[in-house]
Amino acid sequence: MKKIKLAVLGCGDRGNVYASYALSHPDEAEVVAVCDVDPVALKSTGDKYRLPENMRFSSIDAFLRAGVKCDAVINATMDPAHYETTKRLIKAGYNQLLEKPVVNNAADLYELRDLAREKGVSILVCHVLRYTPFYRSIKQAILDGKIGKILTMEMNEHVGTVHFADSFIRGKWSDEDVCGSGLLLQKCCHDTDLMCWLNNATVPAAVSSFGERAFFTEDNAPEGATEFCYNCPCAGECLYNAQKIHLGLDNLPFQTWRGIGKHYTEITREEKEVYLRVSDYGRCVFKLKRNLADRQMVTVRFRNGSMATLTVVGGDVLPGRDINIVGSKGKIQGRMEDNVFHIYTISRENDGYKNVTETVDVTAQLGDGRHGNGDVCLMHDYVRYLNGDRSSISITALDDSVNGHLCVYAAEKSRKEGTFVPID
């Protein structure tokens, strides 16, 4: 197996998570170039991989002019930049590992898919949950015929209080008009992708959805709450107090403190305190004027008659993902965070029936990676894919990623317009 050469476009958290595989597996991959418009991120990532200055680029223009030789580009730019950067990299002949979501509309999605086919390059979307031992084992059980044909699927994603406040109220993905993505596309295209991948014996045919922003509104602010948390009389009791989340827990520091202009490991507590007095990260979650839904339900009808539902809610004290798949011969039920799922079947015995339960525990397969070790497993499979190995059940044709995105687009149209939306 040859060593894979990678370039990183977008040196934020996700770009570094994928690229770090080269540090833990130096015999399999190496990072040969990095590119980012943020000089702090560019320097820290360039230093991390000990790259010479001529392999550190401050723009995609400079990167493309240099004609960097590599097997693939990790495109981890921000959502609004995906269309333009992906298109330019395709035209330049680069394979891409593309952070989700691909784009926020079907026309651009089809254009990129067709252009990649025309140019003969591969686009693998970072739907990391497919690669987790938990969901990969569920997929294998389905392929093995353990539960027969899928009839229905129920999925839930409950986003925790801290994560929801940090990323989807105060953070980079807090407003659809700014980031170009609604909550469903940014956070839950993982789940719609799983829905279509697990059930890819068929394709989605129609979608309906309800959702709104109903809790994180000014009407629900604690009595006497102020615009900023640092001087709020409710700070001691509020679950979303910024001082508690960002100074006490220091949740997602690579994201929260990026506006200060220094690497987060070099920022002092005093600088953080000052920043929270002026930044959205220090504002009341109920008083910020944002338009992302804080709960949504999606129903998908597939072409073969099977159906699936997804419920997402922001601000749950017990975050996690649950799944319940009913098949013609049995069912699968589990919770990702438990790393355990159960396969329930029934068999004929002495002119009667016998209930059979098989418990699948994937804990032993877990490493120390995030997303249920999906990030590491994705890179493991991707390196082998670039070496010609097509054995991974998680890597599929780009159309599977297209289908998951189409479900999101249809769901958002349904939610906003109150319509039942067919998928062509």
Q: What are the pLDDT digits (tens) for 94-121? A: 999 999 999 999 999 999 999 999 999 9
| Predicted pLDDT of residue 370 | 62
| Predicted pLDDT of residue 113 | 95
How far, in Å, CA of 411 to CA of 415, rounded?
6
Residue 121 amino acid letter: V
| Residue found under tokens 């099977």 | 306
How far, in Å, CA of 206 to CA of 424, rounded?
9
Contact status, residue 248 vs residue 226, Cβ threshold 8 Å: no
**Mean pLDDT score across all residues of the chain:** 93
Q: Tell me what the mean pLDDT of segment 285-302 comes to.
A: 94
Q: Tell me what the mean pLDDT of segment 403-417 comes to.
A: 96
Contact status, residue 322 vs residue 339, Cβ threshold 8 Å: no
- pLDDT of 399 strictly over 80: no
In degrees and rounded to multiples of 5, residue 274 shows phi and psi of -65, -40
pLDDT band (50, 70, 90) for residue 349: confident
Contact status, residue 7 vs residue 22, Cβ threshold 8 Å: no
pLDDT band (50, 70, 90) for residue 369: low
Q: Tell me what the mean pLDDT of segment 229-251 comes to.
A: 92
pTM of the complete model beyond 0.85: yes
Q: How far apart are the first and last CA of the chain?
A: 41
pLDDT band (50, 70, 90) for residue 46: very high
CA distances from 141 to 108, 137, 146 (A): 35, 6, 6
3-state DSSP assignment of residue 264: helix
Interior/surface letters 37-64, b for 16+ CB within 10 angstroms, e for the rest: eeebbbebbbebbebeeebbbeebeebb
Does the bond joining 204 to the residue before it have cis omega, within 30 degrees of 0? Answer: no
Percent share of the chain, pLDDT over 90: 83
102-106, 235-239, 364-368, 402-406: which range is least confident on average? 364-368
Count other C-beta atoms under 10 Å from residue 268's C-beta. 10
- pLDDT of 276 strictly over 90: yes
pLDDT band (50, 70, 90) for residue 92: very high
In the chain the domains, ranked by start, together with CATH numbers, are 4-126 (3.40.50.720), 129-216+291-422 (3.30.360.10), 230-282 (no CATH)
Which ranges in 151-300 belong to alpha helices (H)? 161-168, 176-179, 183-198, 242, 253-256, 269-275
List the structure tokens of 188: 């839950």
Q: Tell me what the mean pLDDT of segment 312-337 comes to.
A: 96
Residue 294 amino acid letter: D
